[in-house]
Amino acid sequence: MSLIKDLFKESPFEPLRHHMSTVMECVSHVRPMFEAVRDGKYDELQAIAEKIFKIEHKADIIKDDIRSTIPKRFFLPVYRGDLLGYLKLQDDMADSVEDVAALLTIKNLVLPPELVDGTLEYISKVDDVCQRTLAIADYLPTLVQSDMGGAEAEHTLALVAAVEKAEWESDRLQYKLAQNLFALDDKIKPTDLILWFRVFGELGQLANYAEKTGDRLRRMLSS
């Protein structure tokens, strides 16, 4: 019997936790990528990007395995479509990390010194959003044991609210960083400026997808 089938025996959310752990492997490489760019270590950046591509592919395989294994005839405590939607949003997180890696390796980008601190602060906040989403995934089996209600449901909704707040904070940092980026438009090549804008935007997408997983869970609890 496959690992995913074994996990489904424990809880319908155990396979999602397994997938999320792989997604977070991707996320863990985001900051090292930007540090490599900051330090001009482009060979190191390429090596990190290659790791991300492989981990993202692993996440895709797990996602496909879960999709083909989710019980169709057996009772689930949540709507099957919501479970699949939740899975897709987790996978979108890994896709966003892969897109950031691809953008950063198109050419040898230089991170302007004026943007270093703001960029690292933004990355830390995006990582915070993702870590809070991981905390939700880790708590889901406990939620199922409570029949998706009671104090456990209230705690889960509090976790979701914390993710939403952190994502809002990341949006503000992204906006400020974009302002600082375009303030340097006379010092940065137009192609580099557009690339950095896309990179920062894709990091914002990573935080958005993390936040949307919480919204999907809220839907599960209200259905």
| pLDDT given at position 223 | 61
Number of domains in the chain: 1
- CA neighbours closer than 13 Å in the CB half-sphere of residue 216: 23
Q: 10-residue block means of pLDDT along the chain (223 residues)?
A: 57 81 97 98 98 97 86 58 88 97 97 97 98 87 69 84 96 98 95 97 97 85 67
List Cα–Cα distances, 41 to 6, 45, 71, 185, 198, in angstroms: 43, 6, 47, 24, 21
Domain CATH number, residue 67: 1.20.58.220
Q: Report residue 136 as tokens.
A: 């939700």
Structural domain that includes position 9: 3-222
| pLDDT given at position 83 | 82
| pLDDT given at position 71 | 61
| pLDDT given at position 92 | 97
169: number of Cβ within 10 Å: 16
| pLDDT given at position 73 | 45
Residue 84 near residue 67, CB atoms below 8 Å? yes
